[in-house]
Amino acid sequence: MTSAPRLTTLALAALLALPGVASAQSRYSSQPSMRLGGLIGFDSGDLDGLALRLDGEMDLQRISPNVMLVGVGSVGWSHLSDDLGYGYDVTNDVFTIMPAARLAVALAPQVGVYGDLGLGLYHASLEVDVPDPFTGLRRTVDDSATGLAMRIGAGAYFNIAPKVRLVGEIALHPYFGDYDDDTFTFMVGATFGL
């Protein structure tokens, strides 16, 4: 076989393979590669309360046909409180900025699960409302702390439309430094493709 027929055979084989490659690429790229979303839920640790989080997601690398490495940037706020009894009330507002790596596994075209591992910063602002037993007046004692925080999470998603995804997540949040606590969050939300 001369080189010209060999090149013709290779070109014909490549043209015949193009529809399969195009359908595989369209199947893999049918979901948006960037998403913005919000989650709301419950934060539980030494203090309990409301948790809110905004996420930005970007697909980084397809590891296999069903597994994607996703970069996630999160900004979170938890409003935690407790009544210690005898008139003592504690409130703690915790703000976090956390980049994370997410491994997302598609179980079906519309359903998948994921695992998160993030490392970022937190700022905790603590207020203790203290009663004065002699005067009956109340005074507030303030304190704050800044340090490192982690997120170790697992979740599931369901695509209800091409650009809309419902999300449910549970995560462990270890905090390091002056605010030494490990909290769990239970959150639900939605993300929207760009």
Among candidate residues 99, 92, 80, 103, the one with its CA nearest the CA of residue 148: 99
8 A C-beta contact, residue 144 and residue 124 = yes
Rounded to whole angstroms, how far apart are CA atoms 97 and 148? 10
- What kind of architecture, by CATH, is found in domain 50-193? Beta Barrel (2.40)
8 A C-beta contact, residue 80 and residue 94 = yes
Q: Residues 23-31: contacts with CB within 8 Å, 24+ apart? A: 24/65, 28/62, 28/65, 30/162, 31/159, 31/162, 31/193
8 A C-beta contact, residue 151 and residue 117 = yes
Q: Is 145 helix (H, G, I), strand (E, B) or coil?
A: strand
Cβ-based burial of 103 (10 A; exposed 0-12, middle 13-18, buried ≥19): middle
Q: Where are the domains of the chain?
A: 50-193
Handedness of CA 136, 138, 139, 141 (dihedral sign): positive
- Taking only the tens of pLDDT, the chain with its 194 residues reads 444 455 445 444 444 444 443 333 334 445 678 999 999 999 999 899 999 999 999 999 999 999 999 999 999 999 999 877 676 789 999 999 999 999 999 999 899 999 999 999 999 998 988 777 777 677 778 899 999 999 999 999 999 999 999 999 999 999 998 887 899 999 999 999 99
Question: Does the model's pTM come out above 0.85?
Answer: no
